Structure formats: structure tokens, C-alpha cells
């Protein structure tokens, strides 16, 4: 498939995990990539993976400096943005600090608002529509022990996605979210074997999801095959029910 040929696609949190898998899928689909992430060590590896049609922006999505860099790139055109960047700072309510709460809100929710606004401004000016895709999570639906901050942001992402789809639809800008379940990312792989087994048991498919399976969902929603889909959240969770 080459369903995204010549599309300029911005992906945050693109250096590893779901973000990198999404970049690989979109690159294979013919897109021009603008990848945004904090690490510098992965830049050479990303360049090797994407020898052309790739621009790397190193920066924190919560800072004005990074937003200015992204804005400069949107001036060259933007068709899709995947707001994938996210962090966890887990703790139960009585142990969670203000800093842990604020950090997760800033990355997982506020940055999506600011980047979506920036993207929508340019998409509207271009006059050819566009696609905004946001990273939600199944914990938005079910909650999760020790993740009041993370769960709140992901529920906020779903509500914001619905609202932005209503506001931007007249400009043919589609806004959707993907809600992954337990995915076999490098971060998850570091968890104890017992915890991984418990996570697998929560899915009727009895396995963790793959980053490439989340990337496939993003690629579908970005493509013309989904051009009448907006305001929705696609659960890619293997039927997971959080206990």
C-alpha cells in the first residue's frame, strides 16, 4: 500500500515504541515524516531507518521552543499529525505529588491541545483538509490503579477529540483517537514476568498487542479509507478488560 504518498505527517514521541512503529508504517505508505522527540541518541538510527523523506525535531513537546520548531515545519505543509507523545508518573492518590500530576497533564493533554491548534490553523489555511490523530488509552474507559493522572489525561483526550471533530469538520479536518491496550513496547518489556503474564491474561487473545498493530490503526485513520470517520476513538486492545 502507498496510501499516504506525498503526505506530510508529523509524529510526536517518534523515537521508540508505538511512535517509531507508526513512523515506519507511514514511511512505508509513502509519507514524508516530521518526527518529534526528546532523545538524541536515536537520531542516527532514525536517519538510517528513514534515509529520505524525514526531518527530525529534537525537543520537549511542552516547551515553546519546540512548538516554534514545529510551526516552522508546518509552514512547508501538513496533512496529518499523530499526537503520540506521552509519559507516566504513577502513584496512588495519597502519594501522588503535584509535580507528578502536572508533568503528565502537560505532556499527555496540554501538548495535544497546543499541537492540534497549531496543526489545524495551517490545515485550514491550506484549504485541503487534514487529519489529527490522538493517543488515548483503554484506561480512559476503565481507570487503572495508581494512574489517576494518566487516566484523567486519556479521558480528556477522548473528550477533546470529539469536540475538535465538531469544530473542525466544516474545514474537512478529521479528528480521531486510538486507545491502545497493553502493548509490547520496550518500556513494558522491562516489567517483571509475573506482571506481563497478568497483562496477557486480561485479553481474550491472551497476548500483548504489538506497536505495529497500533501503527496500522493510525495508518487506516489517516488514509482516505477513513475519510468519513471523525470524532471516534478506536480501541486496539485485544478485548482487554482492566480489573
Cβ proximity of 177 and 134 under 8 Å: yes
Pairing status of strand 130-135 against strand 32-37:
unpaired
Cell of 68: 516554534
- Concatenate the DSSP letters of all residues of 149-198 into one string: HHHHHHHHHHHHHHHHHHHHGGGTEEEEEEEE-SB--HHHHTS-HHHHHH
What are the two backbone dihedrals, phi and then psi, of residue 55, each rounded to the nearest 5 degrees?
Answer: -120, 135
Q: How far is the C-alpha of 130 from the C-alpha of 142, rounded, in Å?
A: 31
Q: How far is the C-alpha of 82 from the C-alpha of 223, rounded, in Å?
A: 13
Q: How far is the C-alpha of 183 from the C-alpha of 161, rounded, in Å?
A: 22
Specify whether 218 is catalytic.
no
Q: Which of 27, 150, 218, 228 is catalytic?
A: 150
Beta-ladder partners of 236: 180
Cβ proximity of 180 and 133 under 8 Å: no
Which residues are part of the catalytic machinery?
150
Amino acid at each position: 500500500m502507498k496510501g499516504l504518498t506525498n503526505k506530510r505527517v508529523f509524529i510526536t514521541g517518534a523515537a521508540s515504541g508505538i511512535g517509531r512503529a507508526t513512523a515506519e508504517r507511514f514511511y512505508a505508505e509513502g509519507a514524508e515524516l516530521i518526527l518529534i522527540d526528546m532523545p538524541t541518541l536515536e537520531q542516527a538510527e532514525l536517519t538510517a531507518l528513514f534515509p529520505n523523506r524525514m526531518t527530525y525535531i529534537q525537543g520537549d513537546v511542552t516547551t515553546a521552543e519546540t512548538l516554534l520548531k514545529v510551526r516552522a515545519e508546518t509552514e512547508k505543509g501538513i496533512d496529518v499529525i499523530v499526537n503520540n507523545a506521552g509519559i507516566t508518573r504513577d502513584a496512588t492518590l495519597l502519594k501522588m505529588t503535584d509535580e507528578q500530576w502536572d508533568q503528565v497533564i502537560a505532556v499527555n493533554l496540554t501538548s495535544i491541545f497546543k499541537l492540534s491548534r497549531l496543526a489545524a490553523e495551517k490545515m485550514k489555511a491550506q484549504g485541503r483538509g487534514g487529519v489529527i490523530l490522538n493517543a488515548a488509552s483503554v484506561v480512559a474507559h476503565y481507570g487503572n490503579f495508581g494512574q489517576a493522572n494518566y487516566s484523567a489525561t486519556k479521558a480528556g483526550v477522548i473528550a477533546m477529540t470529539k469536540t475538535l471533530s465538531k469544530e473542525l469538520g466544516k474545514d474537512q479536518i478529521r479528528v480521531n483517537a486510538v486507545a491502545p491496550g497493553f502493548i509490547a513496547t520496550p518500556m513494558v518489556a522491562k516489567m517483571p514476568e509475573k506482571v506481563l503474564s497478568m497483562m496477557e491474561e486480561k485479553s481474550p487473545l491472551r497476548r500483548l498487542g504489538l506497536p505495529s498493530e497500533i501503527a496500522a490503526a493510525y495508518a487506516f485513520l489517516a488514509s482516505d479509507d477513513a475519510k468519513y470517520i471523525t470524532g471516534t476513538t478506536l480501541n486496539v486492545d485485544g478485548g482487554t478488560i482492566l480489573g
